[in-house]
Amino acid sequence: MTTAVRICVCGDEGTGKSSLIASLVKDVFVANKIQSVLPQVTIPPTIGTPENVTTTIVDTSARPQDRTTLRKEIRKCNVILLVYSDHYSYERVALFWMPYFRSLGVNVPVVLCANKSDLAASGSTSQVVEEEMLPVMAEFREIDSCIRTSAKEQHNVIEVFYLCQKAVTHPIAPLYDHKEGQLKPACMAALKRVFYLCDKDQDGYLNDDEMHEFQSKSFEKPLLPGELENIKATVSKAVPTSSTEKGLDLHGFLQLNKMYAEKGRHETIWIILRKHHYTDSLSLEDSFLHPRFDVPDYSSAELSPAGYRFFMDLFLTFDKDNDGGLNDQELAALFAPTPGLPQSWVETSFPSSTVRNEAGHITLQGWLAQWSMTTFLEPKTTLEYLAYLGFEGPDARDSTTAALKVTKPRKRRRRPGRVERNVVLCYLLGSAGAGKSSLLDAFLNRPFDALYHPTIKPRRAVNSVELHGGKQCYLILEELGELEPAILENQAKLDTCDLICYAYDSSEPDSFSHIVDLRKRYPQLDELPAIYTALKADRDKTTQRSELQPDAYTAALNMSAPLHVSVTWNSISELFVALAEAATNPSTAFPKSEEPPDRSGLYLALGATTCAALAAFMIWRRSTNSA
């Protein structure tokens, strides 16, 4: 926002420019001849100055020999005070001064001042307004306001400079189109968004409670008794078609603001918009959309409880038909105060990456999972949308960062114990056709599709998983498509990943060798916890064309043997729990080299063969006995 106002005082010779400045600064009229051009004065902000701006007033001369200085000063200022004092100097406003400003290419507001109002010849105020001011205002839109002054009688002197300050700090031009008699589109769009955010229950009306809240947020003071009734009465009179019974509707709200603009109370509109983080160019403040939020290395961003509550409330407010899903209209209504769905959602054909109901609409579970993933992958997007969607922390001064939190860094993954993460990312690696996409579908409770669609672009699925002990966590499963080599070469990507899931098709002999190759080609993979999975267990198992069979291979690595699963089995959900458990407890998914290898399984198997041998022996003996 503007913090300095520079006023250039212009006008014909002898109109009283220097006298007005002297009168303001010295508080008295200096009757004896004063210096033709006063030195520049700078006035610090006082109680009366709008928006605490510092004001610089520059005096000028209209004499031809001073033209260079005049031109320079006009180009430097952000508002022009144009003074006239008689018929001749009035005529010169439209004939010389206004065209001159335009010829210099400056686009600053002009405050027109009819000075020497004390002189009898200058006529009555209403006459001056009707005959002089209104016609030039109609002709030159850059004229912000007009005022009659007298430097001699100290009439409207403070006021004329105040108008200049306000023309800079609260300009009418971006808000209202005089020619059209309408609020300008950008202003209308901003006010619509404000209305929308204030209509907390989304019924299309600002009811009394919402009006009170809007008032105290915008003006930092409550509505006085009777004021609300006044506003409603004014609106009903201006818009007889809109009933104010249920509150103020959007049309009425815009009408109210239009009336502020028409009555010269556009300052009110600026207060409303600025309180809602709009800049002078009517865009949202950059610091509001993009607050500082750093995620240190080995940490991740997650939603805080306040963040989850916000997105949950949002979902519940917009699920108008209460069917547990957001249909297209409900989704469009929810995203109305934003520029639309986040770019990354569009690119990944939202809502296909998360849980939907039978109708294909995102559910509350899916909605929270989607935001958990977005926050993990691109916290800046979440912060931006929290701003657009009107997040307010428990404390009104809280920034949108109150909806996020940073997890503890997890540098040493081999250290035993749980990591403090509720959102984890797992890369799913495996040969083409191994069944990765089918696993993603099963994760989102989608029915099994026997048709094969190879994956080109990386694809993600996110859902909540209940860990042992009942804790919830969000698991992001990602298959990398054609980008597999590029991503595995990227150390930063591997650092953000919490777990690798190696998958192969146990019914396809050439499937396992892909994993063996990957581990050879990217040794850095061994720095990550991993789980091995054999997919399509419902089909006949076949021998893998590989130096070692999968069980022997993992045993040689001191890793757990592959889990055999099939997406056609209900037990598939246990794989997701196992993945989430390993991701949040990474030391369990590394080779068990430190401890002695777990041989209890082997012992069990040995015990079984011994018994079998014994049984065989007895049978043999019994038969020999009988013989």
Residue 506 lies near ligand GTP (rule: CB under 6 A): no
In terms of CB distance, is 81 or 473 closer to ligand GTP? 81
Rg of the chain over Cα atoms, rounded to whole angstroms, equals 37
In terms of CB distance, is 182 or 507 closer to Ca ion? 507
Give residues 519-548 in contact with ligand GTP (rule: CB under 6 A): 535-536, 538-539
Q: Is 417 left (phi over 0), alpha (psi -120 to 50) or beta?
A: left
Number of Cβ atoms within 10 Å of the Cβ of 28? 9
Alpha-carbon distances, residue 422 vs 414, 473, 495 (angstroms): 18, 5, 17
Q: How many residues bind ligand GTP (CB under 6 A)?
A: 43
Helices marked H in 523-571 — which ranges? 550-556
Chosen from Ca ion, ligand GTP, none, partner binding at 584 (C-beta under 5 to 8 Å by type): none
Question: Minimum CB separation from ligand GTP for residue 341, in Å?
Answer: 25
351 preceded by a cis bond (ω within 30 of 0)? yes
Nearest alpha-carbon partner for 191 in 169, 179, 174 = 174
In terms of CB distance, is 18 or 584 closer to Ca ion? 18
> How large is the greatest C-alpha to C-alpha distance in the chain, in angstroms?
149
Orientation angle between helical segments 250-262 and 227-238, nearest 10 degrees: 90
CB 460 within 8 A of CB 428: no
Chosen from ligand GTP, Ca ion, none, partner binding at 434 (C-beta under 5 to 8 Å by type): ligand GTP
Residue 514 lies near ligand GTP (rule: CB under 6 A): no
Point out which residues bind Ca ion (CB under 5 A).
Answer: 17-18, 36, 436-437, 455
Alpha-carbon distances, residue 316 vs 88, 313, 341, 493, 516 (angstroms): 68, 5, 18, 35, 48
Residue 436 lies near ligand GTP (rule: CB under 6 A): yes
Give residues 214-233 in contact with ligand GTP (rule: CB under 6 A): none
Measured between its terminal Cα atoms, the distance across the chain in Å is: 109
Name which position in 225, 416, 454, 596 contacts ligand GTP (CB under 6 A). 454
Question: Minimum CB separation from Ca ion for residue 59, in Å?
Answer: 6
What's the CA gap between 296 and 294, in Å, rounded? 6
Map tokens 């005082």 to a residue. Answer: 9
Helix (H) or strand (E) holding 499: strand 499-505
379 preceded by a cis bond (ω within 30 of 0)? no
Pairing relationship of beta strands 41-43 and 79-84 according to DSSP bridges: unpaired
Q: Which stretch binds ligand GTP (CB under 6 A): 12-20, 221-229, 248-256, 309-317?
A: 12-20
Question: Minimum CB separation from ligand GTP for residue 100, in Å?
Answer: 15
Name which position in 28, 224, 450, 627 contacts ligand GTP (CB under 6 A). 450
In terms of CB distance, is 30 or 289 closer to Ca ion? 30
In terms of CB distance, is 412 or 453 closer to ligand GTP? 453
Looking at residue 545, the DSSP 8-state letter turns out to be S
Give residues 150-189 in contact with ligand GTP (rule: CB under 6 A): 150-152
Tokens of 240: 């007889």
Number of Cβ atoms within 10 Å of the Cβ of 607? 10
Name which position in 165, 257, 370, 437 contacts ligand GTP (CB under 6 A). 437
Q: Which stretch binds ligand GTP (CB under 6 A): 239-247, 367-375, 380-388, 452-460?
A: 452-460
CB 352 within 8 A of CB 345: no
Give residues 473-492 in contact with ligand GTP (rule: CB under 6 A): 479
Alpha-carbon distances, residue 308 vs 288, 326, 329, 393 (angstroms): 20, 17, 23, 12
The contact mask relative to ligand GTP for 104-133 (x = CB under 6 A, - = no) is: -----------xx-xx--------------
Question: Minimum CB separation from Ca ion for residue 53, in Å?
Answer: 24
Chosen from ligand GTP, Ca ion, none, partner binding at 208 (C-beta under 5 to 8 Å by type): none
The contact mask relative to ligand GTP for 70-89 (x = CB under 6 A, - = no) is: --------------------
Q: What share of the chain is helix, strand, coil (3-state, %, to 5)?
A: 45, 15, 40
Torsion over CA of 595, 598, 599 and 600, rounded to 10 degrees?
130
In terms of CB distance, is 396 or 451 closer to ligand GTP? 451
Chosen from ligand GTP, Ca ion, none, partner binding at 28 (C-beta under 5 to 8 Å by type): none
In terms of CB distance, is 38 or 530 closer to ligand GTP? 38
What's the CA gap between 91 and 63, in Å, rounded? 17
Question: Minimum CB separation from ligand GTP for residue 354, in Å?
Answer: 18
Sign of the CA dihedral with 321 first, then 323, 329, and 332 last: positive
Question: Minimum CB separation from Ca ion for residue 57, in Å?
Answer: 12
Question: Minimum CB separation from Ca ion for residue 437, in Å?
Answer: 3
CB 439 within 8 A of CB 535: yes
Question: Minimum CB separation from ligand GTP for residue 165, in Å?
Answer: 21
Name which position in 342, 379, 390, 430 contacts ligand GTP (CB under 6 A). 430
Name which position in 45, 324, 433, 458 contacts ligand GTP (CB under 6 A). 433
Tokens of 297: 């290395």
Torsion over CA of 537, 540, 544 and 550, rounded to 10 degrees?
30
In terms of CB distance, is 114 or 589 closer to Ca ion? 114
Chosen from ligand GTP, Ca ion, none, partner binding at 536 (C-beta under 5 to 8 Å by type): ligand GTP
In terms of CB distance, is 323 or 517 closer to ligand GTP? 517
Which residues of this chain interact with ligand GTP, rule CB under 6 A?
11, 13-19, 31, 34, 36, 61-62, 115-116, 118-119, 150-152, 430, 432-438, 449-455, 479, 535-536, 538-539, 566-568
